[in-house]
Amino acid sequence: MNPNENKSSASGSSEVDASLRVPLLALFGGAAVWLVVGLVLGLIAGIKFHAPEFLSACPLLTYGRVAPAANDAVLYGFCIPAGLGVMLWVLARLSRMPLVLPMVPVVAANLWNLGVLIGTGGILIGESTGQPWLEYPRAAAVILFAAFLLIAVSAAGTFGWRRERSLYPSHWFLFAALLWFPWIYATANLLLNTVWLPRGVVQPVIGWWFANNLIFVWLALVGIGSAFYFLPKISGRPLVSSGYALFAFLSLVFFGAWCGIPASAPVPAWLPTASVFAALLTIVPIVAIAIITVKTVWGARVSCQGGPFCFIKLGVLCFVVSGLMYVAAACPQASRVLEFTWFGVAQTQLQLLGFFAMIVFGAAYEILPKIMGAQLPFPKLAKLHFFATLLGVLLFIIPLALAGVAQGRALANPAIAFADASHAGLMFLRVSTTGQLLILVGALCFALNIFVMTMKWKLALLKSLVAAVKAPLPEAPAPGDSEVKA
Amino acid sequence: MKNGIAIFIAAIVALGASWCGLVLAPSLQLGPARLTTVLNSTDTYPLQRTGEASLGLQVYRANGCAACHTEQVRQDGIAVEVMLTSLGTSKAEDFKAFVQSLFILPELAPVTNTIADSLQAWNGDLPKIFLVTGDKAIADEMVQRVNAAGVKSQLRIAPSGPDLARGWGTRRSVAADFLYDQPVQLGSLRAGPDLANIGIRQPDANWQMLHLYAPKSVVPNSTMPSFKYLFAVRKMAGAAPSPDALALSGEFAPPAGFEVVPTAAARELAAYLLSLNANVPLYEAPFTPVTSAKP
């Protein structure tokens, strides 16, 4: 078992942290902006369910464009780049190796933001591909793919030249994630985002495979991989245990990768059957991850008070709940009622905003002070962020899931008119919009902290540059200047 | 730990297996799919969309209609009905006695009670459905036995389930229905009703236009946003509105002297919606069309 780098000398880890400062600011900064954009778009989409005529005259903001643009901005704009940032830091720390080619992820982060911008704009002007979770038009997809590969090069280089040779469970999860994304993203885009689409229902089958492997498996690999690094680190207890973690990892990749085809899909019956079977087996890794987490953090004498520890523990809890919702909705009996309802939306949003975002927030609050060598500018806002997000997720997800159950039960009874069945969920949706608003407030706190932190650092950099220029003898560069590749 | 390579290979195998299973295999199995034949007919299915309807699919895609509408009807099972259409030379009482005599057959044991119940109060009116079962083998057996005795009966297959009971279709959606869709817009949320057969349920292009322009003008409690941007409000050229102007009234009507005309996109979208019908019987989704069941 890897001793982590608890013993590592202060100078070694500060060298590692300094190498990550610019790449992580670029990745986290862009991610925070896209999170706010995604949540605002999501709020616009949500309001349309209370007032259908809200902004309906504007073709850019019609529900069918705003809703996928919001989902993709949160997934591609926030989750993936922020997850990659956390991944780079964990890999560099575990390797006790400063980031290799630190400017490559900076370029990649900017490319990535350009890709998301083109993609979001593309959806809003009606250039979506029409494939769920793969709406971004071709140009955006190519840019995102290239940016991912650049970051993967830097991550793999850091790993290859690592000074700490032994592997830690997080390595498996994060490396599988590095393999996963290019494979699924390339497959899905080459097949679904070109001029010659495959025939008929082959398209949705590939789409389901892709969406499941991205939203369920990839996010789980990065999120849980990071949690398995931070939870032992913060609680000061070893991960319990490496063997369990290996079991969870293998069962997650082998079973999880087969989920995603709905039980009632109009495709040959063996496909949904395989998926339902895999979904039932996916209970195994979910339970294993829950057990590992509980055993690792139980009784830890760390008060979290809305800090990183709270975020990450809550994130794992949301992962377990969302995973169990996913399995439940895949069972044929439940699927009859829950398919095509808000329940599926609730599960996906819990996966994105409850599980993954929480882990990324916690990790970012843990990482940022270390790489910047300074405290958060607004620690109170970080605490507010936690409680706003906690309450927001509860108010967003629970009513949405209940709306799904109510809607599904009403739709299963043909005696209830369709309009009445839809109206049954409206009250729930109203509450869930409040939840979205709270999550947005939290995201603004997050973005403000990062923004002010970046600004302060840039100002300090500018001052030291000015000082260096004014100084009569340019022999000693000002401290804190080393990262400018001087 | 030295098993890093082994774990990396395990990840490749895991993803590779699911790639083979859920990407490669369906492509090989369904990719070469061709036209299929309508059951008990020589007609081929599906028809390729032409002109405005095929452009309309792109309007549907661009505006994300699938965010709220599915194009997929589900069914729970089928009910197989045996319907007596002609008694030939025999009388109702003879038929009852004959059916009674069949009850000793062990394969009919599960349905003897339902048959007896349905024939109890029957006075000889035709056509008469005297057996409804989920088991096609039993129904086949019954039809064979009864027809051998000189009366005429036929088998009717009626798919069942809440989606069908809502009138959203006559059978479940199958792979063949989506053969020519580029892209396939199955949808995953029913914030609005299913559209797999909207072309049959609302075959009037004018209704579709009114519904797109002002949903509440035709469905008062609709939660659909209006798609006014697919229409142009313009000054009337003469005293009378042009032929393609929408017949709006009351609060939805444009100011006096103005008319609302659909743009090309609106006409295409309406044509696409009218082209949505998936109601022919297929081998994999059989049902008995209502028309042929008449004696």
Query: Which of B189, B197, B282 is best to mutate for the A interface (most A CBs within 10 A)?
Result: B189
Whether B246 has a pLDDT exceeding 80, the answer reads: yes
Q: What is the CA radius of gyration of chain A?
A: 23
Residue in A126, A242, A412 nearest the CB of B63? A126
CATH number of B77-160: 3.30.1390
Per-residue confidence (pLDDT) for residue B208, from 0 to 100: 95
pLDDT in tens, B177-232: 999 999 999 999 999 999 999 999 999 999 999 999 999 999 998 989 999 999 99
Cis amide leading into A241 (omega within 30): yes
Q: Which residues of A touch B33 (CB under 8 A)?
A: 199-200
CB A230, CB A302: distance < 8 Å: no
Test B225 with A413 for CB contact under 8 angstroms: no
Test A253 with B14 for CB contact under 8 angstroms: yes
- Cα dist. B238→A287, B247, B257, B263 in Å? 73, 16, 9, 20
CB B67, CB A68: distance < 8 Å: yes
% of residues, chain B, pLDDT over 70: 97
Residue B295 — pLDDT band, cuts 50, 70, 90? very low
Q: Which residues of B touch A176 (CB under 8 A)?
A: 7-8, 11
Query: Which of A62, A123, A239, A348 is best to mutate for the B interface (most B CBs within 10 A)?
Result: A62
Q: Which two tokens stand for residue B232?
A: 């142009």
Q: What mean pLDDT comes out for the span B109-121? A: 81
**Amino acid (1-letter code) at residue A14:** S
List, as own/partner pairs, every contact residues A394-398 make where C-beta atoms lie below 8 angstroms and the sequence separation is at least 24, other chains included.
Answer: A394/A435, A395/A431, A395/A432, A395/A434, A395/A435, A395/A438, A396/A349, A396/A353, A396/A432, A396/A435, A396/A436, A396/A438, A396/A439, A397/A346, A397/A349, A397/A350, A397/A354, A397/A432, A397/A435, A398/A346
Does the CB of B176 have a partner CB in chain A at under 8 Å? yes
Residue B140 — pLDDT band, cuts 50, 70, 90? confident
* Sequence spans of domains, chain B: 51-72+168-274, 77-160
Test B15 with A183 for CB contact under 8 angstroms: yes
Residue B27, min C-alpha distance to chain A (Å): 6
How is residue B293 annotated by DSSP? G
Looking at per-residue pLDDT, the higher value among A13 and B55 belongs to B55
ipTM metric: 0.91
Test B175 with A187 for CB contact under 8 angstroms: no
Whole-angstrom distance, CA of residue B71 vs CA of residue B67:
11
Whether B291 has a pLDDT exceeding 60, the answer reads: no
Q: Is B286 helix (H, G, I), strand (E, B) or coil?
A: coil
**Angle, helices A219-235/A242-256, rounded to nearest 10 degrees:** 170
Q: What mean pLDDT comes out for the span B55-68? A: 96
Q: Which is nearest to A330 in space by CA: A285, A281, A287, A291?
A: A281
Does the CB of B77 have a partner CB in chain A at under 8 Å? no
Residue A256, min C-alpha distance to chain B (Å): 9
Cis amide leading into B46 (omega within 30): yes
Residue in B22, B67, B229 nearest the CB of A67? B67
Test B162 with A166 for CB contact under 8 angstroms: no
Per-residue confidence (pLDDT) for residue A195, from 0 to 100: 84
Among B residues 104-163, those touching chain A with beta carbons less than 8 Å apart:
162
Does the CB of B6 have a partner CB in chain A at under 8 Å? no
Q: Is A137 helix (H, G, I), strand (E, B) or coil?
A: coil
Whole-angstrom distance, CA of residue A311 vs CA of residue A359:
6
Residue in B11, B181, B186 nearest the CB of A179? B11
Per-residue confidence (pLDDT) for residue A90, from 0 to 100: 96
* C-alpha of A332 from chain center: 28
Per-residue confidence (pLDDT) for residue A336, from 0 to 100: 92
Residue B290 — pLDDT band, cuts 50, 70, 90? low
Per-residue confidence (pLDDT) for residue A9, from 0 to 100: 44
Does the CB of B14 have a partner CB in chain A at under 8 Å? yes
Q: Which two tokens stand for residue A141?
A: 């997809």
Residue B281 backbone phi and psi in degrees, to 5: -70, 135
Looking at per-residue pLDDT, the higher value among B90 and B249 belongs to B249
Residue in A128, A167, A339 nearest the CB of B1? A167
pLDDT along chain A (486 residues), means of 10: 43 82 95 97 93 89 96 97 97 92 95 97 96 96 97 93 89 94 97 90 96 97 97 91 92 96 94 96 97 91 84 96 96 93 96 97 95 91 95 96 94 92 86 95 96 94 92 62 48
Per-residue confidence (pLDDT) for residue A477, from 0 to 100: 56
Q: Is B171 helix (H, G, I), strand (E, B) or coil?
A: coil
Per-residue confidence (pLDDT) for residue B2, from 0 to 100: 57
Q: Which residues of B touch A129 (CB under 8 A)?
A: 61, 183
The contacts of residue A223 (CB under 8 Å, 6+ apart) are: A83, A315, A319, A355, A356, A359, A360
* CATH architecture observed for domain B51-72+168-274: Orthogonal Bundle (1.10)
Residue in B19, B29, B189 nearest the CB of A345? B189
Residue in A52, A128, A341 nearest the CB of B190? A341
Whole-angstrom distance, CA of residue A130 vs CA of residue A127:
9
Per-residue confidence (pLDDT) for residue B106, from 0 to 100: 83
Per-residue confidence (pLDDT) for residue A57, from 0 to 100: 87
